Structure 1
Amino acid sequence: MTHTDLALVLAWRNHPEIRRYMYTQHEITPAEHQGWFERCLPDPRKHLLIFEVNQQPLGFVSFSEAKVGGIADWGFYVAPDAPRGSGQQLGHAALCHAFTELKLHKINGEALAYNQRSIQFHKKLGFQEEAVLRDQHFDGSQYNHIICFGLLCNEWQSKP
């Protein structure tokens, strides 16, 4: 991801169908978005990626190596107008990059319990459900459970 991608990624992130599944559900301002990007840029543990097919941007992926030993959290979203099947393509490409290029050992993911699409997405990619954090996220009106997932490199490598 570069500065030239900021407006597009912000538009995706602020789309109602993306925003409703985020921990931060307010509409992100351009200044807020720019600040986030500027904080991530110098951090070698943050990897911000644009997923493209035939040079057309279709999604965003981030890996944050918050822990030692090649363990990272990931986040992602597909452009609201991306063709059907783009999410699976994004997932496979991102995980290949994480395990082969970044040499990560484990990827952690989270989904709000009402986000069944994300839960199924993680399971289809081979993630194991590792925990349920009950009433972990307050969205301003109610508490929500968070489902935690993990995928180890050797589990990914053994996928057909």
Structure 2
Amino acid sequence: MDIRPASPDDAALIFAWRNDPHTRAMFRDSAPVAWGDHLRWLADTLQRPDRRLFMAADAAGPVGVVRFDREGDIWAVSVNLAPDRRGHGLSVAVLQAAMQQLPGQSFRAEIRPENTASRQLFSRAGYAEAGLHDGLIRMEIRTG
């Protein structure tokens, strides 16, 4: 799995993946995102010191995007696979490759209870359930 920092050139792909109906259903805010709002968000994201955004690809092409947000001593993580690449066993490789970009760090995911695929992904990647937070299942992997 190849991982690289996202760039402005990735705007259209990330926008399409973010507005995918299944993706929207699993996000806290399930409303579609407008193109202009997305471009502003991406420009801000790429400049923020407390956020990292990575693109994943393999020999067949783009696989997904992983975002990390610094929250104190832990990085909150969000994974979104390209709709046409879901169900092919790629999510763990994407997540683990992205986590390697922040060595020695601890990570947290918050998952909607009905999102069994994400729960399985984070469990297979070594995360443990750490209770509920605002109705979401919190999963963590801590180092050190």
Q: 1:35 aligns with which of 33, 40, 44?
A: 40
CA contact (8 A) 2:7 2:46 kept: no
Residue 90 (1) aligns with residue 90 (2): no
Q: Secondary structure at the match of 2:107?
A: strand
Give the gaps of 5 or more residues in structure 1. Answer: 137-144, 155-160
Structure 1 residue ranges, 4+ long, deviating more than 4 angstroms after superposition: none
Tell me, yes or no, if structure 1 residue 114 matches structure 2 residue 138: no
- Counterpart of 2:118, as a letter, is S
Work out whether 1:4 is the aligned partner of 2:40.
no
Aligned 8 A contact 2:63 2:85 in 1: yes
What amino acid does structure 1 have at the position aligned with 2:143? C
The corresponding residue for 1:46 is 51
Q: Does 1:81 align with 2:81?
A: no
Distance in 1 between the 2:93 and 2:121 partners? 11
* Matched residue type, 1:111: I
TM-score (norm: length of structure 2)? 0.88
What is the CA distance between 1:54 and its match in structure 2? 2.4
In the TM superposition, residue 95 of structure 1 has moved relative to its aligned partner by 2.1
Distance 1:85 1:36 in 2: 29
Q: Distance in 2 between matches of 1:40 and 1:97?
A: 17
**Residues paired across the two proteins, number:** 138
Which whole-Å deviations, capped at 9, do the CAs of 1:101-153 have from their partners, x for residues lacking one?
A: xx42x1011101111111111111110111113xx3xxxxxxxx200011013
Q: CA separation in 1, counterparts of 2:141 and 2:75?
A: 10
Counterpart contact for 2:19–2:33, Cα < 8 Å: yes
Aligned to 1:51, the other structure's residue is in SS state strand
Identical amino acids, percent of aligned pairs:
23
Distance 2:50 2:17 in 1: 23
CA RMSD, 1 decimal = 1.5
Q: 1:55 to 1:47 in 2, by over 3 A?
A: farther
Which position in structure 1 is the counterpart of 2:142?
152
Q: Which residue is 1:21 aligned to?
A: 26
Residues 54-79 of structure 1 show CA distances to partners (whole Å, capped at 9, x for unaligned) of: 27211000111121x4x211111110
Q: SS where residue 83 of structure 2 aligns?
A: coil
